[in-house]
Structure 1
Amino acid sequence: MKKQDSSISSSNSEFSLLQWAILLGTCLFLFIFPYQVALFNGFQFSFEGSLLEAMIYVFILLVIVGIRLLRTWQLTDYRSILSIVVLLIPIMYMLSSINAVASYNAKIMLQLEFMYASFFIIGLYIAVKQLHQEIVGLSIQLSAYGVVIFGFMNLFGQTYYNNALWAADNGYRLTSVFQYSNSYAAFLVAIFLAALFSAVHVKQWYWRAAHSLMLVPIWISLMLTYSRAALVFIPFLVLIILPFMKINKQISYLIYMFLAVVSSFAILSKVKVAADKISALLDPGSQMGKTISLWEPVPLGGWGILLAASVIISLLFTLLHDKLSNWLEAKTTKISDTKRSLVMVPILFIVVGGLAAALILSSSGVRSLLPPSIAERFENINLQQHSVLERETFYRDAMKVSADYPLIGAGGGAWAVIYEKYQNNPYTSNQAHSYFFQTLIEVGWLGLLIVVGFFVWVYYLFIRAYIKNPDLRGNSLLFFILSLAILAHSAVDFDMSYGYLSILVFLCLGAMLAPFHKVLVIPALETYKDKPWRFVYPIAISLSGIILFALVYREYDANLSYRQSLSLAIEQKKPLNELLPSIDHAISVAPDHPEYTMRKINWMEQAFNSTQDPAYRQETKRLIDQLKPFAPFDRSLLLEEYKYYKNMGETNTVLQVLDTSVASFPWNMSFYEAAIMEYFIAGQQEGLTSSEDKDSKWNHSLELYQQVLDRIEHLKSLPEGQLQGREFIVTPLMRQAIGQINYRNKNYEAAYNLLKEDIAGDLTNDSIRVNVRFYLASLHALGQKNEELLRKLVEADENESTAVQQLVDSQ
């Protein structure tokens, strides 16, 4: 019997060690990876290395999780059901890969979704005990506080992180590790509300002091992001959070918030002045990486003001908390147990908050206390500002995409590849600026239903368990606040494209349910409790971790090989034959990666231009054909395909490629320009043998030109506050082709009206001279002359006199 007890003790110890290993691994992840651009998934090579490293780390952790679950996982409660259901999200991404418009993007997104699901499972099973909940919660908060402090170190010049200060029209916007101010603002809102919760609820005075100490820096950071949407979300989030607290805690929460915000505004102008002086000195937008000593007067002053206000708030909250809490509890005892207690303070908050917002927005005296650039941002909060109008356009365009890929979507990362085909105007945005619209595009309505249904189910189970089981709540509301704040803001921005924020959301979703696992049982499943097949799920989890680790490591190996090839080419200036082994290895491992193949195509073109060896052209063709099935909508690939066939003199294929390009990128002037010119040239060639074919080609040029005019006219209908985006105009080359077509068709007035746009242009430019030449000939056909312009043209190129005369003689 003693032997058996010893065996059980040894087993428990072993699995306890695994539990602590998973907990430690999770906490270390939260402290290490935020500084890798918060694991942003921008579908660009520069971000991939960090994502792959993070996934390698997590999938090793997932193998350990599977081993741990061999002991604890049973199909008896909602927790076990949810641990299976969460895997439907990456499975939907796997299914949507069938329709993927960008194979590599879809593959990366599939792996990332498995990583996010892993953190949900970890949260469910690792934050069961009160101690473990506190460790996970503190790790999230302390790592977040580190990100906030790091932001100030960039603001005051003690360190340099690329784009931690984002240059904008109204100065530098603080972004910290995110390199994007709006997502940093969403993160700050979540951390601010969570820090307030902890300041109100923690029992140890030193942790209350620590959380209170960060309230002012977080709020000032939020102001310096200049994010209006984040500020708008705060009152709504507070209204959702308050009913989960007792009435005395609600009042404490609002008092602490008020004092922290007022204190922050009191020093905001001084912090902004110090930051502006340092920015003017270091010019962080120049990417020179300059820093300044902490002990210089300006940064020391900035840090001093910030620290003083933070310490005062921390001391105030720490010293007065017990007295305030006891007093409020005594005053609210009579109504705390009534149903109306849940809504009394929120209603008061709505009234007071509404009055305060009206005062800030309408009172010039109040606004004068704020830095002018921030006050201006407050004044411009309305539904007609360009950021709101642009998001409306993104969402309408997203619905157009979903109409073509309705059920299972266009695959992970689809928006970045095909949005230009559907866009209403020529904006540039590789993100749909909404997690839910981007999910709709990637996995269709079926996938969106699964994702939203999963979130709703998790929150429903939490709210029900939280209300019915006050003795089990523990730290669960902290995780609720963090996940809800990030998810809410992600509805109007691409916060969930940051792996770090997605991980926080899924980890918190799991952790907020973990304390209630004993009351989330499903009695009907009790009969399956000890069935042998309960081991299938844990084994599958570990096997999935091993398989995913192997797949991601292959991608990482290719990434390293490609980076080596770039180092050899750019830094060491090695010859081509020494570059090829590493880049060929990268392509062989990841033939669907556009960056690798496009780089080699570029090197092949350079080699051909230097040697005229046709083998390089043949290799270019092979690479194009190899990549095309994986990336049919890649703009760079279409451009290389066009250049290849043009160089080879295959006119019909050139025209086919350009037709595809114009259809896929209808706001790309370069493709329109090339297509109009190529159809004109093709018509000229066809005219030597067939007048009918010539007219067909030229008519198509005219049709494309009319499309350009129609699109220019459409841009005039955009709302006044909406920015157009990229330039979209009739270019000199377009005028050259259409002007010559009109001239050859003896439509001299149309040629004249079109080509007169270039008569004031630079006559040293060949294209401009051609346009002026045909302008003068058209003018002659209409019975007019411009001797002064002809003289300038001949001065630019003496051959133009003969060229103009030949055109006149051909009339």
Structure 2
Amino acid sequence: MSKPVYGKNALQSRNVEKIPSAIWALVIAFILFLLWTPFQVGLFNGLLIDFEKPLYVSAMLGALMLLVWIGLYYKKFQLLEQRDVLAVAALLLPVTYALSLFVAVSRYMAMDMLFIQSMYAAVFIITLYLFKQKQLNVVIQNALLAIAYFIVGFGLLNWLGSWRLAGGLVGWFSNTVQNGKYLDAVMTDSNGLRLTSIFQYANTYAAFLMAFLFVAVFALIRSRKWYGTLTHGFMLVPIIVSILLTLSRGGLVLLPVVFILLLLFLKPAQQILWIVHLAIAGITSLLITNPITTLGIELNTKFTSSAAFKGWGFLLGASLIVAGLGWVIQRYAAPWLEKKLGSWESRKLTGLWIPLGSVVLIGLVAFLFVGTSARAILPANMETRLENINFKQHSVLERFTFYKDALKVVKDYPVLGAGGGGWSSLYEHYQNNPYTSRQVHNFFLQYLVEVGILGFIVFMSFILYIFYKYIRAYIKRDKDEYQNGFFYLIIALSILVHSLLDFNMSYAFMGILVFLGLAGMAAVMESKPLRKGWNKAGVRLGYLGVLAACTVFILFLSITYIGSSNSAVKAKQLLPVSQSYEEIKAPLMEVLKTRPNHPEAAIYLSSLDQQVFSQNKDEQFLTEAESVLTRALEDEPYNKNLLKQLVSNYDLKGQSDKAYEIFRDNTDKFNWDIQWYEDLISRSYALGHEAFVQKDEVKQKEYFKTALDAYNHVVAGVEHLKTLPTEQMQGRPFSITPNIALNIGKIQMISGDPEAAKATLKLGFNDNYADIINSNNLWEVDWYGTIISRSYDLAQAAYTQTPDVTLRAGNMQPSLTIGLQAYSHVLMDIEYMKTLSAEELKGRSLTVTPGIALNAGKIQYLSKQLSAATATLHSGLTEDYSDATNQEIARWYLASLIKSNTVQDQAVYNRLIAADPTATTKIDEIIAMQF
């Protein structure tokens, strides 16, 4: 058998061969796939119903293209050289995710990650062989550049106010365009407006821009056509300006790191050209960034054609100047420079001097912009971001915390990992403080969490082998042979380096780019011949057979999941418009028949069953809901929403002890969720108080102990948060809340420790309740009544002081929650007093006073607990309609009946109107309240 041909001769020999039209069709399909994917498949973050279908469609398209590749290449495929083995090794990547399914903490997300990894493997295998043909390689490179430039232009269209045009360009095939606007192409956070283009996350867009900035410079210098030089030179300013508009500190920090690494691959003349082109484009971009930023902020508030015209004038003018200068440099300076430095390039280590000098230069520039007032030339928001670049900055400290917590997961799931989406499911269990991050912000650590040490070794061996073989050949051989490979190295290296600090690879499109880059390097890497045994027909056909079988499996599975997703979307769309239980239930059952662990479908169906039960009191609906939820929880034990839905089911069945057990048995999964601990303590107190009334000391102690243990956990957590660095924010609120204080204080009171009860109350309540907490009649019904009254007043004040309807509920909720908890204590205490003797009851009332009923009913009404509000207000009514309090109770009572579409109480209405003819208007005002 003749020796395989690789390197330059391989490319030349293959160029002689005519490319069949079927392969061209595959290339066109692949390019369309590349264009479709970034606008369809976004962030993998525990995908929800609205976003899962594009993932399955992408997996299906990847499988179809791979089957076409098998059909086209099954005769040509040979296991002759090392790069051919990579096509086999690529299958191990999805295999490691398949193995992790056996231990996955979320089978739903683990299956989704299996689809993604299968798609990556398909992309790698297909392009590995397409790239061997230089003509196809160049076509795909040009297509990638065109797509990248389109994404850059798309982002700037949104920044400069032309979001309708941008949305119209992609709205016909993107599910992210709503009401003509691409969602969050310009996002807003605490730093102000940030450009994200298609990614909806500024840091990942910065990683994408960094990669294609260097690709554009590379393409500019390599281009032999004037129009190519002008095109790539023209795009440098839009890309650099876009990087600045992302406000990504990680992008700005890692950009020079990647730049220095890439310089090491270049000849001195090329290094100088890279520096010159980037310096010209960078300085020009800085000159226009201030007005572009100001105009973009203005245009995203209110569009005016004059401001948009001015913004585009700055951008296009600067781009044309840089493009022209770039052409001049390449036309006249580049040949002269290469001639002058030709002899120098042959000397050893000459390629190191300019990168080392660049390190010094970059350090100086960094010092000027970070350590001096020179950054004042930048817009205020960019100046602030640069000013905060340091190792004590919150985001840096927070990332270090993520990394430490991720290693805790790895320690518990070392070999096969926790499965795809493992961090997203588990982070609340392992987190050091109550941050919210469904991503580790480090791709490599997240990969280690998901597939364990075994999968991580496979992945790192795969990518490091490709980098090693490509770089080794690049150093040893004439570099001109490896220009196409260098194009792909830039992409893969840039994204992977940036992924050390962020979750870029959680975007399927970014993952595709990386595997495309790996295939591009592998196609021209140093590839030694294999032993003859590798290329036996049985081995080759066996591999293709396994590949085909796995691909067909993924194809049919993805088609099944697409149907399931369609049913889920249909059900979600029917929920707000349909009144038919059977119509809504049918598509949900279709989903759960295929995927019984689908969290949203399980929640929707159980919620539907619970609503029907509330109407007809038929417990078979609750039984079905429980069955659906418990089945889903078998595969999704860390899904908080499923657990809470099961709790609501037990509440409806009157099984408060089982609801309590859900909270008790799952506390360690949500160590820093203060709401979880509030609910656990509240339920523990209620059940313990019930046991106290029934004089069951064993159960009373059990429930009270659970509450006190939970309280001690919160206290310890509060103390731990004090040890965080002052620069690091703790994350979500975590403190002793008023509800916790009320319940624990009462437990301590019942347990005979009134001083501890007082101290606990003072820990939990703020100054708005200081006079109440310091009163002498703690725990009496009237004392609770004062808390309820104060809570309503504070909620009412929040209502009137919050003009934004969307913010009202959030501002009112803390006070409403305190009032509801206090009222529940009143009801429990009254039930307890009913067990006392006449002597013990002396001077104590067994009924809720009208004042308490009025305020409690109002709080329930504002909390949208209309049935409870109706009952509470009705209990406070008296026969005296000349009494102002009674009239107010009647008004709120009638309003709650109308609001809940319940039959009107005509007798109460008639008496109220007789006493106050203007009552109808006042009732309408209550009904019209928006919260």
Q: Structure 2 length as normaliser, TM-score?
A: 0.79
Question: Higher relative CO (CA 8 A, sep ≥ 6), structure 1 or 2?
Answer: 1
CA displacement at 1:637 relative to structure 2? 1.3
Is 1:672–2:677 an aligned residue pair? Answer: yes
Is 1:134–2:138 an aligned residue pair? Answer: yes
Structure 2 unaligned regions, length at least 5: 1-15, 164-180, 794-821, 834-838, 845-931
Is 1:450–2:455 an aligned residue pair? Answer: no
The residue identity in structure 1 corresponding to 2:649 is Y
CA displacement at 1:683 relative to structure 2? 2.2
What secondary structure sits across from 2:224 in the alignment? coil
1:794–1:643 distance in 2 versus 1, CA, 3 Å: closer
State which of 267, 272, 288 in structure 1 corresponds to 2:288: 267
State which of 454, 469, 476 in structure 2 corresponds to 1:461: 469
1:251-304 Cα deviation digits (max 9, x unpaired): 1011101111001001111111110110221xxxxxxxxxx57xx111111111
Is 1:73–2:77 an aligned residue pair? Answer: yes
Q: Is the 8 A contact 2:741 2:765 kept in 1?
A: no
State which of 322, 343, 346 in structure 2 corresponds to 1:337: 346
- Tell me what 1:490 maps to: 499
What secondary structure sits across from 2:101 in the alignment? helix
State which of 690, 701, 714 in structure 2 corresponds to 1:685: 690
1:7-63 Cα deviation digits (max 9, x unpaired): xxxxx9997233222211221112222122546454333321221121121111010
- Tell me what 2:358 maps to: 349
Instruction: List aligned pairs for 1:132-281, cutoff 5 A.
Output: 132-159=136-163, 160-281=181-302
1:776-798 Cα deviation digits (max 9, x unpaired): 44499xxxx99997998899999
The residue identity in structure 1 corresponding to 2:204 is S
CA displacement at 1:485 relative to structure 2? 0.2
Q: Which moved more, 1:477-486 or 1:137-146?
A: 137-146
The residue identity in structure 2 corresponding to 1:124 is L
CA distance in 2, matches of 1:703, 1:381: 41
1:600–1:194 distance in 2 versus 1, CA, 3 Å: same
State, as a whole percentage, how many aligned pairs show the same letter.
Answer: 31
What secondary structure sits across from 2:666 in the alignment? helix
State which of 414, 429, 434 in structure 2 corresponds to 1:421: 429
- Tell me what 2:31 maps to: 27
CA displacement at 1:425 relative to structure 2? 0.8
What secondary structure sits across from 2:193 in the alignment? strand
CA distance in 2, matches of 1:465, 1:787: 79
Q: Is the 8 A contact 2:230 2:324 kept in 1?
A: yes
- Tell me what 2:749 maps to: 743
Instruction: List aligned pairs for 1:495-644, cutoff 5 A.
Output: 495-516=504-525, 520-523=527-530, 525-529=531-535, 531-570=537-576, 572-644=577-649
CA distance in 2, matches of 1:539, 1:502: 26
Q: Is the 8 A contact 1:401 1:441 kept in 2?
A: yes
The residue identity in structure 2 corresponding to 1:618 is T
The residue identity in structure 2 corresponding to 1:127 is F
Q: Is the 8 A contact 1:89 1:447 kept in 2?
A: yes
CA distance in 2, matches of 1:192, 1:795: 57
What secondary structure sits across from 1:178 in the alignment? coil
- Tell me what 2:390 maps to: 382
CA displacement at 1:760 relative to structure 2? 7.3
CA displacement at 1:405 relative to structure 2? 0.6
Q: Is the 8 A contact 2:45 2:421 kept in 1?
A: no
Structure 1 unaligned regions, length at least 5: 1-11, 282-291
Q: Structure 1 length as normaliser, TM-score?
A: 0.90
What secondary structure sits across from 2:264 in the alignment? helix
1:385-437 Cα deviation digits (max 9, x unpaired): 11101111111111111111111101111111111011111111111111111
Is 1:98–2:107 an aligned residue pair? Answer: no
- Tell me what 1:5 maps to: none
What secondary structure sits across from 2:274 in the alignment? helix
Q: Is the 8 A contact 1:483 1:506 kept in 2?
A: yes
1:103–1:759 distance in 2 versus 1, CA, 3 Å: closer
Q: Is the 8 A contact 1:38 1:501 kept in 2?
A: no
- Tell me what 1:17 maps to: 21
1:439-484 Cα deviation digits (max 9, x unpaired): 1111111111111111111100111122233253141101000110
CA RMSD in angstroms, aligned pairs only: 3.0
1:14–1:103 distance in 2 versus 1, CA, 3 Å: farther
What secondary structure sits across from 1:629 in the alignment? helix
CA distance in 1, matches of 2:365, 2:792: 70
Q: Is the 8 A contact 1:59 1:546 kept in 2?
A: yes
What secondary structure sits across from 1:368 in the alignment? helix
Instruction: List aligned pairs for 1:747-786, cutoff 5 A.
Output: 747-756=753-762, 776-778=776-778
CA distance in 2, matches of 1:553, 1:77: 35
Based on CA coordinates, which of the two structures has the bigger radius of gyration? 2
What secondary structure sits across from 1:18 in the alignment? helix
1:38–1:638 distance in 2 versus 1, CA, 3 Å: closer
The residue identity in structure 2 corresponding to 1:728 is F
The residue identity in structure 2 corresponding to 1:102 is S
CA distance in 1, matches of 2:289, 2:740: 53
1:495-517 Cα deviation digits (max 9, x unpaired): 0000000000001110122134x
Is 1:302–2:302 an aligned residue pair? Answer: no
Q: Which moved more, 1:150-159 or 1:34-43?
A: 34-43
CA distance in 2, matches of 1:38, 1:795: 43
State which of 107, 118, 122 in structure 2 corresponds to 1:118: 122
- Tell me what 1:648 maps to: 653
1:71–1:650 distance in 2 versus 1, CA, 3 Å: same
1:774–1:679 distance in 2 versus 1, CA, 3 Å: farther
- Tell me what 2:731 maps to: 725
- Tell me what 1:410 maps to: 418
CA distance in 1, matches of 2:701, 2:38: 60
1:560-600 Cα deviation digits (max 9, x unpaired): 11111122222x43422211111111111211211111111
1:476–1:611 distance in 2 versus 1, CA, 3 Å: same
CA distance in 1, matches of 2:36, 2:284: 31
CA displacement at 1:538 relative to structure 2? 2.5
CA distance in 2, matches of 1:787, 1:642: 27
1:760–1:243 distance in 2 versus 1, CA, 3 Å: closer
CA displacement at 1:557 relative to structure 2? 0.4
1:55-101 Cα deviation digits (max 9, x unpaired): 12111101011122312221221111111112111111011111011
What secondary structure sits across from 1:515 in the alignment? coil
1:729–1:352 distance in 2 versus 1, CA, 3 Å: same
Is 1:56–2:56 an aligned residue pair? Answer: no
What secondary structure sits across from 1:177 in the alignment? coil
1:342–1:702 distance in 2 versus 1, CA, 3 Å: same
What secondary structure sits across from 1:105 in the alignment? helix
1:393–1:793 distance in 2 versus 1, CA, 3 Å: closer
Q: Which moved more, 1:494-503 or 1:414-423?
A: 414-423
CA distance in 2, matches of 1:37, 1:205: 36
CA distance in 2, matches of 1:795, 1:444: 52
- Tell me what 1:734 maps to: 740
CA distance in 2, matches of 1:276, 1:522: 58
CA distance in 1, matches of 2:533, 2:720: 65
